Amino acid sequence: MSVERAGPRNFRSALRRTVGAALLAAVALGPLAAQAGGPPTAKVNTTGLAVTDDTVKVGILHSVTGTMAISETGSVQAEKLAIKQINDMGGVLGRKVEFIQEDGASDWPTFAEKAKKLLVNDKVAAVFGCWTSASRKAVLPVFEQYNGMLYYPTFYEGLEMSPDVIYTGQEATQQIIAGIDWVVKNKGAKTFYLLGSDYIWPRTSNKIARKHIEKLGLKVVGEEYYPLGHTQFNSVINKIKLKRPDVIYAIVVGGSNVAFYKQLKAAGIDMTKEKPLLLTISVTEDEIRGIGGENIVGAYAVMKYFQSLDNPNNKKFVKAFKDMWGQDMVIGDVTQAAYLGPWLWKAAVEKAGSFDIDAVRKASPGIELKTAPEGYVRIHPNHHLWSKTRVGQAQANGQYKLVYETKELVEPNPFPKGYQ
Amino acid sequence: MFDSYSASELGAIFAMQGFAGLSLFSVFVLMALGLAIIFGQMGVINMAHGEFMILGAYVTYLCSHLVENYAPGLFGVYFFGAMILAFLASGALGMLVEWALIRHLYKRPLDTLLATWGLSLILQQLYRSVFGAREVGVTLPDWLMGSFNLTDMIEVPINGVFVMGLTILITLGVYLMMFRSSWGKQVRAVVQNRTMAGAVGINTEMTDRLTFGIGCGIAGVAGAAFTMIGSTGPTAGQLYIVDTFLVVVFGGAASLLGTIASAFTISQAQSTLEFFLSGSMAKVFTLLTVVGILMLRPQGLFSLKVRK
């Protein structure tokens, strides 16, 4: 009996010894291995972030359920693509980027709770996330209290400048002023009808638009707002017909968007005739999928990015995106801005030589990205991006055709003097 | 507001505005009819009404895709087939839901509110998983999306006329079924006194199931029709649910005539106010009026006289 038992016991202890030796070897070799890939962990992580010798954890925080899932899905896909590409290139400071994805569920308190979980429990080195201004406002105190870094992709109303956020989309003045200047100069527009969904972004944006239009000595002939989710626009379309503006300036969002453009078309307003001309800052290629290209053809959008942009960076990006997520995918402005997040973070970490939030924050201003699909971007000291503003005309196939872009990068100005 | 316009321009605008009001009216009636049957006749607070509508919209979307790819010659008329399929799909789902869920709750009407709300969340997530979180674009035949040019200035959207015609047809159908068929008699008997109806040999279970199914089916047709004017996405049903309940409750829950009268009142108020005020303010005043009238007449505009 004892002989028979000796075998397994010996085997087991032998196994234990081997494992022990292997562990010892790993411990001994560990620093060497890390040095081969990047600087030692103790040096790049002095604040207890989730950084090991070969991995670094980041968070992705978007809604994948609830009403906002419509819009935020593209951002999640872009961020995952960027992280995958960064890992394929060898990661950040020799460490593979691992993401923890949380669902904000289109509910602002949930966003705050998940943000806290990512920062406090998971100790992620950066968070890519949020879409609506409401969700950003909800997580802001969390990021400021626990010292995190958020890369926020959506074009938004401005009036914010947090040390804990990098805004990779455009703020309102970048998007609006260049667009209005273009329509005034190239289309001879004199009168405007401002229309929007009733919440902070359209209202703030239209305020800036109105100020700018009046500064140019031109006229706003109507300005109004409809509740989110409103689906009947026949009355306002009649009103627009009565006022005969040169430009309908529309910032309608969500399901209302689809209703608005379908009813505009059904009411006999052919946007390709440009009488009136329709200028929007709220319809990306993503939205056109729901609206239907044939219902919006001829409208102009002011964005910083269109999927159809003709440059090598963008061609590579569009191909990679479609290869990863499907050939029928479309890429809108925000999706591209979300894609910039991980790359900007990588560049800042590498410039700082550290994952520490404070170091990354200090390194961020001046970070430039020459590989951005939209072209060249640079982080301004106010944490927004210098970027070009572009005007595209909607085509029946659901894409925009570029008709204008600013010569220079437009400076972000989240607190515009004279526009508040 | 109207200076510097000629009389003919003003006439044209008011004609179009009148039409806008009528088309809003038919949209409201179409949304509310299904609910008026389910909530008004059966007393079930169906919070998933919007999701039944969206099922109809998704069926239309599938049809448009299939026809576009496999039978492009039929594209001009596929919409009619799509509406019938939408009716069948939503109706079948409705009957399934009645069998699995609602029939256990007839004695607890308030609980139907929670149960159907849960159902609406489940359906939304189901649509999201099957069709994706993004809105889908339903391609419609060109002839539906244009407008009639009555004069130089008066343009009447064809889809508005289409919805109007459809509404009249369905309202007529519901009226005939409820008040001129033996099934309608059975439904009304079951609503008034379930036990007695059973005692005289009416199959109350089957009547309930069919009623619920037809209510949901009409919601499906409404959803199919609304692909012309609204969006098709997993949560688009939520856009309609508030207005739908508003119309039914305001009209007096148990009265079909009430539903129509209330749809007319609300739609006219809203479209006129929207024209003279701005969008959000129009909504505020419409809701205030409804609340005011409901305070004076809690039973709604019309109500059945019953002994209590």
Contact indicator for A151, A344 with CB cutoff of 8 Å: yes
Q: What angle do CA A379, A414, A187 make, to 5 degrees?
A: 100
Residue A47 β-bridge partners:
none
Residues of chain B contacting A226 with CB distance shorter than 8 Å: 279-280
Do A295 and A261 touch, CB atoms closer than 8 A? Answer: yes
pLDDT at B221 over 70: yes
Mean pLDDT, rounded, for A361-367: 96
Residues β-bridged to residue B201: none
Tens of pLDDT, residue by residue over A103-123, are: 998 889 999 999 999 999 999
A234 and B24 in contact by Cβ < 8 A? yes
Contact B275 A238 (CB under 8 A): yes
Minimal Cα distance from A239: which residue of B?
B275
Q: Is the pLDDT of residue B4 over 80?
A: no
Dihedral of CA atoms A167, A168, A169, A173 in degrees, nearest 10, equals 60
**Does the beta carbon of A397 lie under 8 angstroms from any beta carbon of chain B?**
no
Minimum CA–CA partner of A70 in chain B: B134
CA distance B283 to B64: 34
The mean predicted confidence, pLDDT, of chain B is: 86
Burial class (CB in 10 A: 0-12, 13-18, 19+), A97: buried
CB contact under 8 A, A266 and B229: yes
State whether B132 and A295 contact (CB < 8 Å): no
d(CA A264, CA B277): 20
Q: Domain extents for chain A?
A: 2-37, 55-170+310-387, 173-303+392-405
The CATH number for A55-170+310-387, chosen from 1.10.3720.10, 1.20.120.160, 3.40.50.2300, 1.10.10.10, is 3.40.50.2300
Chain A from 256 to 285: CB within 8 A of any B CB: 257-259, 262-263, 265-268
User: Cβ separation of A229 and B157 shorter than 8 Å?
Assistant: no
**Under a CB-based contact definition with an 8 Å cutoff, are residues A375 and A316 in contact?**
no
Mutate to test the interface with B, among A64, A221, A238 (most CBs of B within 10 A): A238
Nearest to B33 by CA among B189, B207, B221: B221
- Residue B201, by phi and psi: left (phi above 0), alpha (psi -120 to 50) or beta? left
Cβ-defined contact of B157 to A198 (cutoff 8 Å): no
User: Residues B169, B172, B176, B179: is their CA dihedral positive or negative?
Assistant: positive
Which residues on B lie below 8 Å from A232 (Cβ)? 24, 27, 229, 270-271, 274
Residues of B whose CB is below 8 A from A221: none
Question: Residue B41 CB: number of other CB atoms within 10 A?
Answer: 22
Task: Please name the residues between 291 and 330 in chain A that touch chain B, using a CB distance below 8 Å.
Answer: 291-295
B38 CA to chain A: closest CA distance, Å? Answer: 24
List, in sequence order, every residue forming a beta bridge with A377; answer none if it has no partner: A369
The neighbour count for residue B142, using CB atoms within 10 Å, is 11
Which residues of B are less than 8 Å from A286 in CB distance? 134
Please state, as a whole number, how many other Cβ atoms lie within 10 Å of the Cβ of residue A223. 17
Contacts of A34 (CB under 8 A, 6+ apart): A40, A41, A53, A54, A94
Other beta carbons within 10 angstroms of residue A225's beta carbon come to: 21
Chain A residues with CB-CB distance to B229 below 8 A: 231-232, 259, 262-263, 266
Q: What is the number of CB-based contacts under 8 A between chain A and chain B? A: 141
How far apart (Å, rounded) are the C-alpha atoms in residues A286 and B7? 43
Q: Which of B135, B137, B230 sits opposite A70 (nearest CB)?
A: B135
CB spacing of B136 vs A235 below 8 angstroms: no
Please report where in the chains the tokens 């688009």 appear, as a residue.
Answer: B236
pLDDT of residue A32: 43
CB contacts, 8 Å: A65 with chain B: 125, 128
Angle formed at CA B175 by CA B170 and CA B176, multiple of 5 degrees = 100
CA atoms within 13 A on the CB side of A295: 29
Which of A236, A257, A263 is facing B229, going by the closest CB pair? A263
Residues A212 and A314: beta-carbon distance below 8 Å:
no
ipTM surpassing 0.90: no
Q: B238 and A229 in contact by Cβ < 8 A?
A: yes
CB A358 within 8 A of CB A147: yes
Q: What is the 8-class DSSP label of residue A412?
A: P
Concatenating the DSSP letter of every residue in A280-330 gives: ESS--HHHHHHH-HHHHTT-EEEES--TT--SHHHHHHHHHHHHHH-TT--
| A276 upstream amide cis, omega within 30 of 0 | yes
For residue range B185-204, list pLDDT tens digits in order: 888 888 888 889 999 999 98
User: Which residues on B lie below 8 Å from A220 (Cβ)?
Assistant: none
For B13, the closest of A69, A238, A292 (CB atoms) is A238
Are A238 and B155 within 8 A, CB to CB?
no
Q: What is the mean pLDDT of residues A329-336?
A: 94
- Which of B274, B284, B285 to mutate to test binding with chain A, by most A CBs within 10 Å of its CB? B274
A214 touches B at CB < 8 Å = no
Q: What is the pLDDT of residues A256-311, one digit of tens each?
A: 888 899 889 888 888 998 889 999 999 999 889 888 898 999 999 999 999 999 99
Contact A223, A251 (CB under 8 A): no
Per-residue pLDDT for B151 more than 80?
A: no
**Is a pLDDT exceeding 70 seen at residue B1?**
no
Within 27-86 of A, beta carbons closer than 8 Å to B belong to 64-67, 69-70, 73
Which of the given ranges, A35-39, A175-179, B15-19, has the highest pLDDT on average?
Answer: A175-179
Tell me if A122 sits within 8 A of A112, measured CB to CB: no
- Using the predicted structure, report yes or no on whether residue A34 has a pLDDT greater than 50: no
Q: Is the pLDDT of residue A29 over 60?
A: no
Nearest CA in chain A to B152: A268
Strand order, beta sheet including A375-379? A368-372, A375-379, A385-386
Q: Which residues of B touch A70 (CB under 8 A)?
A: 133-135, 233-235
What digits encode the pLDDT tens for the residues A180-225? 999 999 999 999 999 998 888 899 899 999 999 999 999 999 999 9
The tens digit of pLDDT for each residue in B133-147 reads 777 878 888 787 777
B interface test, pick of A62, A63, A70 with most B CB neighbours within 10 Å: A70
- Chain B residues with CB under 8 Å of A257 CB are 231
E-only strand ranges, B115-267:
147-149, 155-157
Closest-CA residue of chain B to A396: B139
Q: Which residues of A touch B287 (CB under 8 A)?
A: none
CA distance A139 to chain B (A): 23
Contact A297, A396 (CB under 8 A): yes
Closest to A139 (Cα-Cα) out of A157, A160, A155: A160
Confidence of residue A6 (pLDDT cuts 50, 70, 90): very low
| Residues A111/A72, Cβ–Cβ less than 8 Å | no
By Cβ distance, the residue of B24, B137, B149 closest to A289 is: B137
Q: Are B115 and B47 in contact (CB under 8 A)?
A: no
Q: How far is B236 from chain A (nearest CA, A)?
A: 7
Q: B45-83: per-residue pLDDT in tens?
A: 899 999 999 999 999 999 998 988 888 888 878 889 999
Helix H segments across A89-195? 108-116, 133-146, 172-187
Tell me if A55-170+310-387 shares its fold with A173-303+392-405.
Answer: yes
Taking 3-state DSSP, the helix, strand and coil percentages for chain B, each rounded to the nearest 5, stand at 75, 5, 20
Cα separation of B186 and B207, whole Å?
A: 7
The C-alpha atoms of residue A122 and residue A61 are separated, in whole angstroms, by 13
pLDDT at residue A18 greater than cutoff 70:
no
Taking the Cβ of residue A146 and every Cβ of chain B, the question of whether any pair is shorter than 8 Å is answered with: no
pLDDT surpassing 60 at residue A8: no
Q: Chain A residue closest to B123 (CA)?
A: A66
Min Cα separation A316/chain B (Å) = 24
Shortest CA gap B139–chain A (Å) = 7
Average pLDDT over residues B115-139: 88
Q: Which has the closest alpha carbon to A341: A308, A373, A381?
A: A373
How far is the alpha carbon of A48 from chain B, nearest alpha carbon, in Å?
37
More confident residue, A106 or A389: A389
The enclosing H or E element of A377 equals: strand A375-379
Per-residue pLDDT tens digits for B154-196? 778 888 888 899 999 999 999 998 889 988 888 888 888 888 9
What lies within 8 Å, CB to CB, of A90 at 6+ separation is A37
Q: Which residue of B has its CA nearest to A255?
A: B231
Domain chopping of chain B, boundaries: 18-240
Class of domain A173-303+392-405: alpha beta
Measured between alpha carbons, how far is B219 from B213 in angstroms, rounded to an integer?
10
Read off the tokens for A370: 């020459």
Of A255, A262, A267, the CB nearest to B233: A255
Measured distance CA(A153)–CA(B215) in Å, rounded: 43
Read out DSSP for A331-376?
A: --HHHHHHHHHHHHHHHHHHHHTS--HHHHHHH-TT-EEEEETTEE
What are phi and psi for residue B31, nearest 5 degrees?
Answer: -65, -40
Of B220, B70, B269, B232, residue with least CA distance to B138: B232
Interior angle at CA B226, CA B223 and CA B228, nearest 5: 140
